[in-house]
Amino acid sequence: MAVEIRLTCEKPREEFQFERPKHLVTPGDIITSDTGFMRGHGTYVEEENLVASVAGIVERVNKLVSVRPLKTRYNGEIGDVVVGRITEVQQRRWKVETNSRLDSVLLLSSVNLPGGELRRKTAEDELAMRKYLAEGDPISAEVQSVFSDGSLSLHTRSLKYGKLSQGTLVLVSPSLIKRRKTHFHNLPCGARIILGNNGYIWISPTVDEDVNESTGGFIQNLELVPLTDRETVARLRNCILALARHRLLLYDTTILYSYEASLRHQCKDIMKPEVMLEISQLVRQRLEIEGL
Amino acid sequence: ANTDVLVGVKAELDAPESSQPNRGRLEFFVDCTANADPEFEGRGGEDLALGISSALSQAFSSSNCLDLCSLCVLPGQQVWLLYVDVLILECGGSLLDAVSLAVKAALMNTKIPAVTVNTTEEGSSEIEVSDDPYDVNNLEVSKVPCIVTLTRVGHQFVVDATKEEQACSIGHLSVAVTESGSLTAVRKTGSGSLHPESILDILQTAQEIGINLNQQLVEKVKLESSVKKDRRGFLT
Amino acid sequence: MPLDGKRICGPEGTKSPLLFIPKKQTNLLDDNRKRTDGRHAEDLRPLFLRLGINSQARGSAYIEMNRTKVVATVYGPREIQRRREFDMKGQLLCEFKFAPFSCKVRRQYQPDNEEKALSSVLRETLEPVVCLHKFPKSRVDIFVLVLENDGSALAAAITCAGAALVDAGIDMYDVVIGCGLRQDEATTLVDPVYEEEYRPEDNHQSGEHGNMVLGFMPLLQQVAALQCDGELQPKTVSAALGMLMESCYGIYSIVQECLTESLKNKLKKREKDVTKVIS
């Protein structure tokens, strides 16, 4: 089996060819001394100056000025699609880890249980909660509401949400996920991908929709996934990591382009830094050509 | 996720162990810093650290691995004691394998000052350590092993497991392999059991990979010491 | 050497008497291909095993292989007091301890690194054997004490701890048997004594040499523990593994006899108690 070791001095140096975003600030930088602006996230006011409190890009919406940091925990908004993992089973609720500051809550009353949408949740259901979702189970859900302390309440009252079966979870920064109309994609390369707004991405082999819907998402198919499907999933994972590393926004088009750009390499080679760079550059070029 | 370890070797003159009066000593200390995982805070990383240091001691237990006799200064009285300190900075899987590689690389560029022993007229001995930074000896490391761990995921075994693969696995077999292909240690870890047949396969695979790994490492460390590079910092 | 505060240290420049023992390189096998204690290379030492030697513990066992003597006691399962995460699996706590007088050099009361490492080896050996899912949220404590170490202490500890678990009535997939082996060039010695196990090595020993310990589940044919050190080729390890498995089957037949014997005795005792109550 081939082994490859590299010295740190052999690392390729990353050259930045694209232009720098215009307004970068670090904590303490004065954004404006004009008093006509409103203070948004990542800023504070001192002696009539608007000052940045995080490192990031200045964004302005009319009179509201905010600074968006590159690395951040997830700040949820109602309607967001999230991917998360159950951390605790509590009284009539599950705690879900969703990359936000506080663990999110999934109430028993906001899930679909096997047996239909308009079912009453009984005391037996309360006792059997761990049967439906246990600690460590990955789920997809939608943000139902945001509590005053910033923690999220989730729901899975649609057949597209629920327990996730076999697949791979990729963690990226939430600021890299582009907000789209849909975050569920059946890619033509034979994989299904859920781009959680919280930066958690779930990649799984394509499954028959009918099977998934009839079980309500609570029955996991634990049959062995064929090697080709697993390789597709692994390739997608590596591509997403390559895009994330070079800070390209993630949505179906970029992921598909990167997948196509990666096909000339072996799946494992995509983890090499120079291949990652190459793929990201190819994707960037293609986006520019198409004017996206 | 990356795995990031830092290894330093320090030499001291000390008394030998009573069971091996004319051998130098080798001691491994592993420190799992809280930088790697908040769980290591306080005494949290102790179990992992002990596991790694005992695996290293086991891998180096054969006297052939490192010529400890060459580290003897005065038999029964003074020998070199090598402290190998391992610092875990980030763990993203295959920690033991990475540590063993770093230990071997660190031992390769360890320099022991030359020592002269003068016998005085009364018959007592005086030890003089050279302070010339170029009057040093290198260690013979051609038989120092690297550790290859095969992780059982389902019914298959993978090398160089990621953190996720390790989380899915219940059994590991770590094999320490020298450049010539001898196995200096084998240990099963984790809470699972293995079938004897698969062990035989693992040993063969581990040997093959281990030989490769050793060769590559030696080659690269030699290259590293020969190339001149413009350094911007410690890590690049 | 670690300092023992409770002992008076000798004057400066004191040397251990062990330094003055002449290092003689004895042959492992004599002219008749017999070992120092008269065994053949693949022979095991006579084995004595007794269960239930501690009346307070949930289960206990004592094993004796000539001069290697090991006691194991099992307590629990009992509830884990400070649990971090919810886990439906039980936990094992193992402590492996050498008695202070068990080895050539005095051992400290405080567990040293070797003992801590052996404790975790023992835990990882027993975890695949015990049906952990049968007692969620609870923990089984297993304490192993080596009274005298004349080689193969870990192997004896594995067998002994396994027998103690059986005595405690803990659910197990199989019995677990430990066996050690010493490889010295072409010579393979099963169940080595102390002198064979810690044989002073030549400075430039060319051939293969090493120690192996196997923890084996004989009916499921699963390896629960495998430890080896020294310098060996994969082929040698494979061959030795086969030999160790053979020996484990040998030990298993004895252990099984002991286990059924102890069961019979317990039943007899119970019958006696019952008849006593009736009369």
A158-175 pLDDT per residue, tens: 878 888 888 899 999 988
C103 and chain B in contact, CB less than 8 A: no
List the single best residue of B4, B175, B229 to mutate versus A (max A Cβ within 10 A). B229
- The predicted pLDDT at position C23 comes to 65
Contacts of B21 in chain C (CB under 8 A): 19
* Percent of chain C topping pLDDT 70: 88
Q: How far is CA A101 from each of CA A27, A72, A75, A150, A234, rounded to the nearest angstrom?
A: 20, 10, 8, 8, 29
Distance between CA atoms of A278 and A242, rounded to whole angstroms? 9
Q: Strands A138-146 and A81-90, how do they pair?
A: antiparallel
Cβ separation of C124 and B185 shorter than 8 Å? no
Total domains, chain A: 1
Q: Are C93 and C123 in contact (CB under 8 A)?
A: yes
pLDDT category at C35 given cuts 50, 70, 90 is: confident
Query: Please, what is the average pLDDT of chain C?
Result: 86
**Rg for chain B, CA atoms, rounded:** 20
Chain B residue closest to A6 (CA)? B220
Lowest mean pLDDT among A107-111, C14-18, C69-73: C14-18
For chain A, strand residue ranges (E) read 24-25, 30-32, 38-39, 43-46, 49-52, 56-61, 64-69, 81-90, 93-97, 104-111, 138-146, 152-156, 162-163, 168-171, 184-187, 191-195, 200-205
Who among A5, A9, A168 is closest to B216 (CB)? A5
Cβ separation of B186 and C226 shorter than 8 Å? yes
Chain C residue closest to A135 (CA)? C86
Cβ separation of B212 and A5 shorter than 8 Å? no
Cβ separation of A7 and B223 shorter than 8 Å? yes
Chain B residue closest to A169 (CA)? B164
In-domain check, residue A54: yes
CATH code given to domain B4-226: 3.30.230.70
C13: left (phi over 0), alpha (psi -120 to 50) or beta: left
Size of interface B-C (CB pairs under 8 A): 118
Residue C59: pLDDT over 80:
yes
Q: Estimate the crossing angle of helix C113-126 against helix B46-59, to 10 degrees.
A: 100
- The predicted pLDDT at position C49 comes to 92
B220 and chain A in contact, CB less than 8 A: yes
Contacts of C205 in chain B (CB under 8 A): 63-64
Chain B residue closest to C17 (CA)? B18
- The predicted pLDDT at position A225 comes to 81
Residue B32: pLDDT over 60:
yes
With tokens 């050279």, the residue in question is B130
Kindly state the DSSP code that residue A217 receives in the 8-state scheme. T
Chain C residue closest to A90 (CA)? C86
C210 and chain B in contact, CB less than 8 A: yes
Q: Are C103 and B19 in contact (CB under 8 A)?
A: no
Per-position b or e across C97-106, b if 16+ CB within 10 A of its CB: bbbeebbeee
- The predicted pLDDT at position C1 comes to 47
C219 and chain B in contact, CB less than 8 A: no
Cβ separation of A1 and B159 shorter than 8 Å? yes
Cβ separation of B236 and A2 shorter than 8 Å? no
In-domain check, residue A62: yes
Residue B230: pLDDT over 60:
yes
A223 and chain B in contact, CB less than 8 A: no
Q: Are A59 and A68 in contact (CB under 8 A)?
A: yes
- The predicted pLDDT at position C97 comes to 94
Write out residues in chain A with pLDDT < 70, as ranges: 11-21, 115-119, 208-220, 292
Mean pLDDT of all residues in C30-42: 82
Q: Which residues in B have their CB inside 8 Å of a CB on C? A: 17-19, 21, 47, 50-51, 53-54, 58-59, 61-65, 69, 76, 170-171, 173, 178, 181-196, 199-200, 203-204, 206-207
Phi then psi dihedrals of residue B225, to 5 deg = -75, -15
Contacts of B76 in chain C (CB under 8 A): 15, 19
Mean pLDDT of all residues in B57-80: 84
Chain A residue closest to B216 (CA)? A5
Distance between CA atoms of C137 and C88, rounded to whole angstroms? 6
Q: Per the structure block, which two tokens stand in for B83?
A: 């402290």
| B172: enclosing H helix or E strand | strand B171-177
Q: What residue ranges define each of the domains in chain C, with the CATH number in brackets?
A: 35-278 (3.30.230.70)
Cβ separation of B183 and C233 shorter than 8 Å? yes
Domain spans, chain B: 4-226
Query: Please, what is the average pLDDT of chain B?
Result: 87
**Residue A205, strand partner residues:** A191
Cβ separation of C208 and B182 shorter than 8 Å? yes
Lowest mean pLDDT among A22-26, A101-105, C156-160, C244-248: A22-26
- Which of A:68-87 have CB within 8 Å of B? none
Q: Are B56 and B103 in contact (CB under 8 A)?
A: yes
Cβ separation of C210 and B194 shorter than 8 Å? no
Residue B226: pLDDT over 90:
no
Contacts of A89 in chain C (CB under 8 A): 86
Q: Are A1 and B214 in contact (CB under 8 A)?
A: no
Chains contacting C with at least 3 CB pairs below 8 Å?
A: A, B
In-domain check, residue A56: yes
Distance between CA atoms of A264 and A235, rounded to whole angstroms? 12
Q: Are C177 and C165 in contact (CB under 8 A)?
A: no
Whether the ω angle into residue A273 lies within 30 degrees of 0, i.e. cis, is no
pTM of whole model > 0.95? Answer: no
A6 and chain B in contact, CB less than 8 A: yes
Q: Coil, helix or strand for A74?
A: strand
Distance between CA atoms of A81 and A181, rounded to whole angstroms? 10
B209 and chain A in contact, CB less than 8 A: yes
Q: Coil, helix or strand for C172?
A: strand
| A277: enclosing H helix or E strand | helix A273-289
Q: Are C36 and C195 in contact (CB under 8 A)?
A: yes
C86 and chain A in contact, CB less than 8 A: yes
**C99: number of CA atoms within 13 Å, CB side?**
13
- Which of B:78-117 have CB within 8 Å of A? 101
Neighbours of C180 (CB within 10 A): 27
Cβ separation of C85 and A135 shorter than 8 Å? yes
- The predicted pLDDT at position B234 comes to 67
Mind telling me how many Å the CA of A123 is from chain C's nearest CA? 22
Cβ separation of B193 and C223 shorter than 8 Å? yes
Cα torsion A37, A39, A44, A46: sign: positive
Length of chain B equals 236
Query: pLDDT for B133-190, tens place per residue?
Result: 888 888 888 889 999 999 998 888 999 998 888 988 888 999 999 999 889 999 999 8
Per-position b or e across A206-220, b if 16+ CB within 10 A of its CB: eeeeeebeebbbbee
**DSSP of C205-271, one letter per residue?**
--S-EEEEEEEEETTTTEEEEEEEEEEE-HHHHHHHHHHHHHHHHHHHHHHHHHHHHHHHHHHHHHH
Q: Estimate the crossing angle of helix A273-289 against helix A252-262, to 10 degrees.
A: 120
Distance between CA atoms of A290 and C99, rounded to whole angstroms? 77
CATH number at residue A44: 2.40.50.100
Cβ separation of B182 and C201 shorter than 8 Å? no
Contacts of B144 in chain C (CB under 8 A): none
In-domain check, residue A270: no
Cβ separation of A89 and C86 shorter than 8 Å? yes
Distance between CA atoms of B209 and B183, rounded to whole angstroms? 12
Contacts of C85 in chain A (CB under 8 A): 135
Contacts of C238 in chain B (CB under 8 A): 200, 203
Q: Please, which residues have CB within 8 angstroms of residue C170's CB and are 6 or more apart in sequence?
A: C59, C74, C77, C130, C140
Chain C residue closest to B193 (CA)? C224
- The predicted pLDDT at position B170 comes to 86
List the single best residue of A95, A103, A135 to mutate versus C (max C Cβ within 10 A). A135
Mind telling me how many Å the CA of B200 is from chain C's nearest CA? 6
Mind telling me how many Å the CA of B165 is from chain A's nearest CA? 11
Chain A residue closest to B165 (CA)? A168
Q: How far is CA C119 from each of CA A7, B4, B142, C161, rounded to the nearest angstrom?
A: 38, 28, 32, 12
Q: Coil, helix or strand for A228?
A: helix
Burial (0-12, 13-18, 19+ Cβ within 10 Å), B126: exposed
Higher pLDDT, B97 or A21: B97
Quote the domain boundaries for residue A64: 38-69
Kindly compute the dihedral angle of the four CA atoms of residues C48, C50, C53, C57, in this order, to the nearest 10 degrees.
Answer: 120
Residue type, A43: T
Distance between CA atoms of C227 and B184, rounded to whole angstroms? 11
Distance between CA atoms of B179 and B64, rounded to whole angstroms? 12
Cα torsion C229, C234, C236, C239: sign: positive
